[in-house]
Copies of this chain bind each other. A is one copy, B any other.
Amino acid sequence: MSSIKDVANLAGVAVGTVSRVINNSGAVKPETLRKVKAAITQLNYIPNEVARNFKMQKSKMVALLLPTIWHPFFSELAYYIEDELDREGFKLILCNSGGKPEKELYYLDMLQQNKVAGIVGITYNDIDKNVSTDIPIVSIDRHFDKKITCVTSDNFEGGRLALRELVKAGVRKPAFIGSLTEVPSETMNRKEGFIHEAEALGLDFVVYEKPDPVTDEEQFYSEFIREHGDVDGVFAITDMFAANYIERAGKEGIRVPQDVKVIGYDGIQDHQLFHPVLSTIRQPVEEMARTTIRLLFKKIEGETLDRETYRIPVVFRPGETT
Contact = CB atoms under 8 A, between A and B. Distances in A.
A86 B68 CA distance: 14
A83 interface: yes
Contacts of A79: 68-70, 96
Contacts of A37: 41
A188 interface: no
The number of times this chain is found in the oligomer is 2
Contact of A274 (B47, B78, B275): B275
A92 B78 CA distance: 13
Interface in A4-63: 37-38, 40-41, 46-47, 50-51, 53-55, 61
A200 interface: no
A176 to B, nearest CB: 20
Contacts of A38: 41
B54 A82 contact: no
Interface in A115-168: none
Range of interface residues on A (Cβ < 8 Å): 35 or more
A181 interface: no
Max count, chain B CB within 10 A of own CB: residue among A40, A94, A243: A94
A37 to B, nearest CB: 5
12 contacts: A46-B50, A47-B50, A47-B53, A50-B50, A51-B54, A70-B76, A74-B75, A75-B78, A82-B94, A82-B96, A92-B93, A240-B273
Interface of A: 37-38, 40-41, 46-47, 50-51, 53-55, 61, 64, 68-72, 74-76, 78-79, 82-83, 86, 91-96, 103, 240, 243-244, 246-247, 269, 272-276
